[in-house]
Amino acid sequence: MIEYLEQTVFITVFLFFGFLIYRRCKTIYRNILLGKKEYNSFNSKNEKMKNVLLLALGQKKMFKKIIPAILHLLIYIGFILINIEVLEIIIDGVFGTHRVFASIFNGSYHYIISFFEFLALLVIISCVFFLTRRNILKIDRFQKVELFGWPNLDANIILIAEIILMVAILTMNAADLSLQNINSTNYTKTGLFMFSNYLTPLLSDYGESKLIFIERSAWWIHIIGIFSFALYVTYSKHLHIFLAFPNTYYSNNDPLGKMKEMPEITSEINLMLGLSNSDEAKGSVINRFGAKDINDLSWKNLLDAYSCTECGRCTEECPANLTGKILSPRKIMMDTRDRAEEYGKILDQNGNPEIKNFLLDSYITREEINACTSCNACTEACPININPLEIILELRRYVALEESKAPNEWNMMFQNIETNFSPWKFPIEDRFKWNKENE
């Protein structure tokens, strides 16, 4: 009767978290599609898969900083592989079995679990290292103003949660081995586990009932922790664990200096010059030039925002930020994601929202976008090919083309280009006079 009760509770918890995760993923998908459908990528499928394998899976760009890269890779591989054990736990929870894979793998089962324990230990060590870097060593890129408050707490919560989950695995295995040693019912012999075996002396004074309580408690903490972690990740910057793969797949391999064209400008000019008919113009309604809010950006820009790891490598390399300007490419991505979340919540509440806030001004200031030098250092530095510059350029295009409020220095340059075909004040025929004078 108790076994059936435990199965019922497990299935209920599993379905409950499954429903919440599904609903949250559906919301994120909806929010990403608030962006425009236009997306230009001429990469072949081979190039796209190469990006996924090298950048998302292999974490190639991370290895510019070798020690954090290795530790991050250990956490990533360790957590993914260890969670293969979650499949066994789910099967045991649904069908009321215990270590169902032990009978399948026979004599090799304890080697598999020992390997998982080795990875769990590496994950614990790596998480402690990252907590130390963030909170004690206070690495500069983790001390920027955009990380104050929730973003910094979010990073610490994830690292501490991963440590708790790994400790729960080791505790569960140690209690399981202790129960095997006293021939407890339902705890069949599996062989010794590499690391939890050394924890069994700590449990030697406990009787069977207490050991079962410890083993079951650790089992439940681990599985509920995994379910909670999966749900929490969808609200956290650690959503990049999953979105890094589609984001790198759809990233563009064009040279970074190649800016995205504005087809709406081309369409308008063609219409003015009589190169396109009015029927074609009617088919392409232009709301505005550039971007004022998230629905003026492309869906790929919003996917970038949701994929951001908040690692700060972009801001660390940004020359504007390094010279003391307030521009932070990381903040650009965080603000874009926050605005998408806000807009989505308004849609959920009202259906047809009354827009009071916008991405420009309400989240990202004009001083920030004007500070950008368009050097692409942020895009080059990003481990998963996020492009903050595209968002900045779209916001600047809106200010220049829709509001005519570009800085005066820029307006002078625009006027020179229009009249002299160059950024300088001199006519094109006068620009090489100095050469003729020296002949």
pLDDT digits (tens, 9 = 90+) for 106-131: 889 999 999 999 999 999 999 999 99
* Res 365 pLDDT > 70: yes
pLDDT computed for residue 280 by the predictor: 52
- What CATH number belongs to 263-429? 1.10.1060
Q: Which residue has the higher pLDDT, 82 or 382?
A: 382
Which three-class secondary structure state does DSSP give residue 364?
strand
The CA distance from 44 to 76, in Å, is 28
pLDDT computed for residue 434 by the predictor: 62
The CA distance from 210 to 175, in Å, is 9
Give the burial class of 324: count Cβ atoms within 10 A of its Cβ; 0-12 exposed, 13-18 middle, 19 or more buried.
exposed
What percentage of residues in the chain have a pLDDT greater than 70?
A: 92
* Res 393 pLDDT > 90: yes
User: What does the DSSP assignment read for 15-61?
Assistant: HHHHHHHHHHHHHHHHHHTTSBS-------HHHHHHHIIIIIIS-GG
pLDDT computed for residue 270 by the predictor: 78
| Lookup: tokens for 349 | 């509440």
Integer CA distances (angstroms), 154 to 55, 79, 158, 226, 439, in order? 24, 18, 6, 16, 67
Contact indicator for 69, 59 with CB cutoff of 8 Å: yes
Q: Positive or negative, the Cα torsion across 340, 346, 347, 349? A: positive
Contact indicator for 154, 338 with CB cutoff of 8 Å: no
pLDDT computed for residue 285 by the predictor: 54
Give the burial class of 206: count Cβ atoms within 10 A of its Cβ; 0-12 exposed, 13-18 middle, 19 or more buried.
middle
Contact indicator for 349, 394 with CB cutoff of 8 Å: no
Q: What residue spans define the domains of the chain?
A: 2-32+65-243, 263-429
Q: Kindly state the DSSP code that residue 65 receives in the 8-state scheme.
A: S
Other Cβ atoms within 10 Å of 16 Cβ, number: 12
Note whether 2-32+65-243 and 263-429 share their fold.
Answer: no
pLDDT computed for residue 436 by the predictor: 65
Q: CA 365, 367, 369, 370: dihedral to nearest 10 degrees?
A: 160
For the ranges 151-155, 417-421, 424-428, the lowest mean pLDDT is seen at: 424-428
Give the burial class of 57: count Cβ atoms within 10 A of its Cβ; 0-12 exposed, 13-18 middle, 19 or more buried.
middle
Measured in Å, how far apart are the chain's first and last C-alpha atoms?
104
| Architecture label for domain 2-32+65-243 | Up-down Bundle (1.20)
Contact indicator for 34, 355 with CB cutoff of 8 Å: no
Model pLDDT for residues 130-145, shown as the tens digit of each residue: 999 999 998 888 989 9
Which three-class secondary structure state does DSSP give residue 298?
strand
Model pLDDT for residues 17-56, shown as the tens digit of each residue: 999 999 999 999 999 999 988 766 666 888 889 999 999 8
Contact indicator for 292, 360 with CB cutoff of 8 Å: yes
* Res 437 pLDDT > 90: no
Contact indicator for 102, 147 with CB cutoff of 8 Å: no
